[in-house]
Chains A and B, each alone.
Chain A
């Protein structure tokens, strides 16, 4: 490995310029100054290299050494990632806190993956097997829920000469090829280039979130992408955390990018205690956290997103469905802007660099459902059909809540689902404060089969009906503004009433209520069905009964309460409710007796 050695020629905030850097390449990793601060080359002019430094640059001076081995920043991938919390450049924050205490000191380094720990390795290929990049040679039970598949790294091909089960550290070879190459539990991987796969395939399964507004109205696929833009306090973080908790992904990567320290603490405190509704195991056992909070160095913030997506792709390659949450992509874009400003690049819109759009696009492009990399000619044991997915869900923080700004607009162009948060809804504490009129999902066609088969063919019809009612409510609101509610026709009054029920008793869902936090899909289906059959029933009564009587039916209150049915064995309760709602005399009687 050639070593390039230069000298600092200028320091301005997080960007340092070095001279004498012939041979250096863009994105090469460098050590800056006496302290050896880590940085990455982001611009080259002649023998001058501009470097974004991952730590505070206080105290650096002209003439200090700068060196590089000419390779990019690499993350370590292997058992031990799950349950960890890293900063943007994969420094393990737990270990760092043991070393330096509560405050992060500059120049602290630690191995990303534990060196001493032994992992039980079980081979899945035999001696004599031919393997190539992406092939699985064995497994390690990484956590109670994650079976870590050990894959052959890129560029490695050959026939297994030796492989043995047993307990290994990540630095001991678990297998050897005939040509002498060794394979380890760990591999290293650059972060700015997508990890290879065989091909992208259509995503046709929803990421089920347990949140009604997402699962019913605006779903995202496993392998799709969604953005959540919204002004401060509208619910981006709570939404991201809620989805990270309850989504049916196998692996969750949560990137706190330039946001609050306390929010990461919250995840760290809650996730080990909460149970994954599917496995019954602690949520932390499927989660990796990356925390580069707003007060941590800005260059490492820029990197955190890539570190996160590389982890995601790595688990995708094992055949898992991974969900990556980035809170907030705007802080990442701002880091880009800040660094671009220091480079004195010509700014584009709102001071962002002209390459903002392409950076955003190539980040979201790393989501998707793929056929995972594996070598074509196998000895029959490899699972050729291995598929995995990365779903990317990005929060966007538009200045002043104005969605016309560049980060929102550029993200909007790429993402398949748009969850628009609304300050007015948040002000009235209607959560999730997702605007049902402006939000959309482009995945409905792709998901039709799944809904039809897994749930019911009624599902998408009912969804359409809900949306239609809400649309109609919006139109009627304009009339109400002019003439008042009392002068509407009875059918319109009823429509407003049912719309309100949909909003208040279906779309609204508290993230903090024990039962409400997670709503099983089947329960969502029942709730939707209950509302719509009641609506239909009431419409049938219009003209036969006075409107006041319809309005006073106990069904309304029953609908308001049905969300609190326990999440287990709810089916009989809903079946009963469905009967009561449309049974004329019976339900009324029950209501009367309740009031007494």
Chain B
């Protein structure tokens, strides 16, 4: 195949980490794809990172192991990295560079698209507006997910991020009645993790509508730079060419960022925080921004990236920048997990920025925003009181404060800790009001009377009686 490309060059000057430096060859283009063939006739893919009058820098996605300066032949393809796309991709498994991994042969492409994509014109975006019921109260009621949103899950080593994500995916699949396309991009994950997701898709009957791009832990690290772009290019094709709702799961974006760091340090670029390049924000954004809806067109791309927080540190640059780009985050907590709470979603730092667009009258319910606001306020107050109690004991607390503490316990143990069993939006709301009914009305400053009268368990009964 490499032979199709005009001319082979043998001009490598230096090989350093994933980078190959060669003497200039006329007409090499910035960012063009290259093919490298080593003395054993093994092929590798690369991309031009820099062209100068004398030197050309190429990054090799499969790593430079096995390449040697003299024998390696380099072919310039004259084009950027593109992905062949077609509806035949449904149900297929590809590697992290987009080649079939399931032994079922190449696909017959309908179109080919550059994997870097183009920015959606902000004028052409449509505002996301439909909520997605995940069945998880801590998300549905407290941090509602909206179709077209990019909502990452921040997790720590050993926390059940995969279960939570799979649970959301199952629910979304179930509601879509077979119309949804699920695209899975795995970067540096273990086969065990992969198998878990595979089985989940299989069991929920979504496999026929799923497309998987896989770079496993022992696959080349640099290839991870390509994997999310492959997944997202495919997602855009199904969403905006074929009008499908697409759910993209990307795991683990930390591994993606680490691959970027590896290239950057091989290029001896000035490192930013923790060695990540200064352009990490821009780079992550070009992936995460590939979500949303387009005016006057069916189809949507919803992203659920999973990002591991090294040492559970939310200020780690990859987590921090992700939070700055995405439309909120779901944060899993080690403390809740230790107490056996599942899903261990920590409500306080979790956020859905698009929630307002998807809730309220005519969507979920008129009281949704105030109910959520009130639960948040009480829970935050309760967490603070709990901290105080640890110091001064509960004797220093007044009666109202005791009630808030009790609320906080129940909120975690009953409301958040719902187990695998999905709850409907309606049920989550009932749970919410149920918990509020334990607290004196004077402490409930964020809900208006009319909602208390209508939805508070005791009150509602009174109203009916009257």
Contact = CB atoms under 8 A, between A and B. Distances in A.
Co-complex (A, B): yes
Interface of A: 9-13, 17, 56-63, 85, 93-94, 96-97, 100-106, 231-233, 256, 258, 260-262, 264-266, 268-269, 291, 293-296, 298, 331, 334, 337-338, 341, 347, 350-351, 397, 399-402, 423, 427-430, 480-487, 504-505, 510, 512, 556-557, 560, 564
Interface of B: 24, 26-32, 49-53, 80, 114, 116-128, 240, 269-273, 277-279, 281-282, 285-286, 289-290, 292, 294-295, 297, 315, 317, 320-321, 323-325, 327-329, 348-349, 351, 353-354, 356, 369, 373, 376-377, 379-381, 388, 391-393, 395-398, 401, 442, 445, 448
B278 A337 contact: yes
A265 B50 contact: no
B121 A104 contact: yes
B270 A351 contact: yes
A9 B376 contact: no
A338 B121 contact: no
A93 B121 contact: yes
A298 B279 contact: yes
A262 B127 contact: yes
A487 B396 contact: yes
B301 to A, nearest CB: 12
Contacts of B295: 102
A485 B380 contact: no
A9 B121 CA distance: 32
Contacts of B24: 62
Given A57-B30, A428-B348, A265 B127 contact: yes
B377 A351 contact: no
B53 A85 contact: no
Nearest to B395: A484
A485 B119 CA distance: 55
Contacts of B30: 11-12, 57-61
26 contacts: A13-B279, A58-B116, A60-B29, A61-B27, A61-B30, A96-B121, A97-B121, A102-B125, A103-B117, A103-B119, A233-B351, A261-B122, A262-B292, A264-B125, A265-B126, A291-B122, A293-B122, A295-B282, A295-B285, A337-B272, A341-B278, A399-B321, A401-B315, A427-B380, A481-B388, A564-B448
A429 B373 contact: yes
A57 B278 CA distance: 19
Contacts of B393: 484
Contacts of A510: 373
A61 B28 contact: yes
A294 B324 CA distance: 10
A232 B297 contact: no
Closest 6 CB pairs of A and B: A484-B396, A428-B380, A294-B285, A400-B315, A102-B124, A264-B122
Contacts of B381: 428
A295 B401 CA distance: 47
Given A94-B123, A423-B349, 5 more contacts: A12-B49, A232-B323, A261-B125, A484-B393, A556-B442
B369 to A, nearest CB: 7
Contacts of A58: 29-32, 80, 114, 116
Given A94-B123, A102-B124, A338-B278, A59 B80 contact: yes
Nearest to B286: A295
A104 B290 CA distance: 13
B52 A233 contact: no
A294 B122 CA distance: 11
A96 B273 CA distance: 37
A557 B328 CA distance: 33
A401 B289 CA distance: 22
A102 B354 contact: no
B207 to A, nearest CB: 30
A486 B353 CA distance: 38
A423 B329 CA distance: 14
A11 B51 contact: yes
B417 to A, nearest CB: 20
A59 B28 CA distance: 8
A428 B281 contact: no
Contact of B292 (A13, A261, A505): A261
Contacts of B269: 341
Nearest to B389: A484
Nearest to B57: A12
A486 B286 contact: no
B50 A11 contact: yes
A85 B122 contact: yes
Contacts of A556: 442
B53 A62 contact: yes
A260 B325 contact: yes
A447 to B, nearest CB: 31
B325 to A, nearest CB: 6
Contacts of A105: 118
Nearest to A331: B281
B121 A269 contact: no
Given A62-B51, A298-B282, A293 B32 contact: no
Contacts of A56: 116
A11 B56 CA distance: 10
Contacts of B240: 102
Which of A294, A401, A560 counts the most chain B CB atoms within 10 A?
A294
Contact of B120 (A102, A483, A564): A102
Nearest to B296: A102
Given A338-B278, A484-B392, A103 B80 contact: no
A430 B378 CA distance: 11
B285 A10 contact: no
Nearest to A397: B324
A97 B123 contact: yes
Given A59-B31, A260-B325, A399 B119 contact: no
A233 B353 contact: yes
A293 B388 contact: no
A453 B327 CA distance: 44
B121 A482 contact: no
Which of B122, B128, B353, B380 counts the most chain A CB atoms within 10 A?
B122
A96 B24 CA distance: 37
Contacts of A560: 445
B453 to A, nearest CB: 13
B202 to A, nearest CB: 33
A268 B122 CA distance: 9
B292 to A, nearest CB: 6
A481 B119 contact: no
Contacts of B127: 262, 265-266, 269
B282 A294 contact: yes
Given A10-B50, A481-B391, A484-B388, A400 B327 contact: no
Contacts of B125: 102, 261-262, 264-265
Nearest to B316: A400
Contacts of B294: 102
B327 A262 contact: yes
Nearest to B52: A10
A481 B388 CA distance: 6
Contact of B356 (A10, A103, A485, A512): A512
Contact of B118 (A63, A97, A104, A399): A104
Given A11-B51, A351-B271, A233 B323 contact: yes
Contacts of B380: 427-429
B324 A232 contact: yes
A9 B292 contact: no
Given A102-B121, A482-B392, A484-B388, A294 B281 contact: yes
Nearest to B292: A262
A434 B126 CA distance: 31
Contacts of A261: 119-120, 122, 125, 289, 292
B369 A512 contact: yes
A350 B272 contact: yes
Contacts of A294: 281-282, 285-286, 289, 325
B135 to A, nearest CB: 23
A220 B209 CA distance: 55
A596 to B, nearest CB: 13
A106 B351 CA distance: 35
A351 B280 CA distance: 13
